[in-house]
Structure 1
């Protein structure tokens, strides 16, 4: 994050080491955040998933190349025109929606333009699609109940991303995975907002097949 280009691309400010540690703690514990570290592909072999030790192997420091994040918020629907406005303290009522804002960064230039960003994004979207109700329930501080399938107000309704108008590579990446601009003109900060309304498991798996990202496995971190 000492690179000004990365800070500009991620709309970030330089932080002290203590501030970085505090932010890391909040990412680990806050229910409105989900963050994964992106690492280089790993070819380690073992007899079973339970025997795999990821620490200092697949996610060794020299294999880390970026991160991908989800920030959850609620927006309340305007009954007059159907637009959405910020909803600071929503409680999951049916007139509010849960929006997941996605951020993606491949930090080092030598690792860009190799497909890692798309692979990380689609893998992350697949994880969200598989666990969307658990993620929403955690965000709303409640247990996942047996009738959640009928509870339309307790789910992530859409995903959003905000990208600088000159960041053409990121715009093309997210548009290639189904994100659509909500406006033809950038906002006050010079950013386009794009949204993905359809991100069910089947749709994400089709995208993974299209871009040959065919191996997906969740392994419990130890």
Structure 2
């Protein structure tokens, strides 16, 4: 989506930035992993196809993605590509119902799993979907064996609504109530900045979403 091309969301552990061409090579290396292909239900792409996909994420109105950066590494001055740990995405699955979106989260770097990056990135994306895109119903489709992801979304109020025996896949859903929406907006303490002006804030305390 063009709407998030200059948007940066920063929490305590992660920084979400738009998916840019300079991210593609590392992303492509991630997606050579058969395990990640299985977990994300993805097919391997050539590098050229990956660049084409990055353009589609930027241009298509039904797709929104952020690359997840390790905030600590960024603060230490590491190049942006070396701070990449995964991505988080929203898909508008029904053009006639733009308030419904499917959400995906991937922490691709094995050493960065189990550190809270996935949960904080998901919370940031839920906030962005609600506050900036008008999303009121979120769905997550997760392989039955991927229990860590299932538990993450259940923690975030998602409930199982269906199971596909063909794909061995659970569909979990969260319909955001007015009370939940207001609570999220009231307690979502993080920084929203411009990607063009991305820099490390000095002497600024950043709080994670509660």
- Structure 1 position 182 matched with structure 2 position 200: no
**1:196 corresponds to which of 166, 169, 174:** 174
Q: Alignment partner of 1:126: what SS?
A: helix
Query: Where in structure 1 are there 5+ consecutive unaligned residues?
Result: 46-56, 75-89, 134-155
User: Does the 8 A contact of 1:39 with 1:59 survive in 2?
Assistant: no
Closer, same or farther: CA 71–97 of 1 in aligned 2, 3 Å = closer
- Aligned residue in 1 for 2:5: none
CA–CA distance in structure 1, aligned partners of residues 64 and 172 of structure 2: 19
CA–CA distance in structure 1, aligned partners of residues 137 and 128 of structure 2: 14
4+ residue runs over 3 A deviation: 42-45
User: Does the 8 A contact of 2:63 with 2:90 survive in 1?
Assistant: yes
Structure ranking higher in helix proportion: 2
Q: Alignment partner of 1:15: what SS?
A: coil
User: Does the 8 A contact of 2:74 with 2:83 survive in 1?
Assistant: no
- Structure 1 position 165 matched with structure 2 position 144: yes
User: Does the 8 A contact of 1:7 with 1:13 survive in 2?
Assistant: yes
CA–CA distance in structure 1, aligned partners of residues 121 and 34 of structure 2: 23
Tell which structure's C-alpha radius of gyration is larger: 1
CA–CA distance in structure 2, aligned partners of residues 176 and 13 of structure 1: 29
Closer, same or farther: CA 3–127 of 1 in aligned 2, 3 Å = same
Scaled by the length of structure 1, the TM-score of the pair is 0.67
User: Does the 8 A contact of 1:165 with 1:186 survive in 2?
Assistant: no
- Structure 1 position 115 matched with structure 2 position 116: yes
Larger RCO (CA within 8 A; separation ≥ 6): 2
- Structure 1 position 63 matched with structure 2 position 83: yes
Q: Alignment partner of 1:218: what SS?
A: strand
CA–CA distance in structure 1, aligned partners of residues 127 and 34 of structure 2: 31
Deviations 1:163-183 (A, max 9, x none): 000100000001000111003
- Map 1:129-140 onto structure 2 (within 5 A): 129-133=130-134
Scaled by the length of structure 2, the TM-score of the pair is 0.70
Deviations 1:53-96 (A, max 9, x none): xxxx687111010000000022xxxxxxxxxxxxxxx5x4xxx5
Give the root-mean-square deviation of aligned CA atoms: 2.3
Closer, same or farther: CA 5–181 of 1 in aligned 2, 3 Å = same
Shift of 1:132: 2.6
Shift of 1:128: 1.3
Shift of 1:42: 4.4
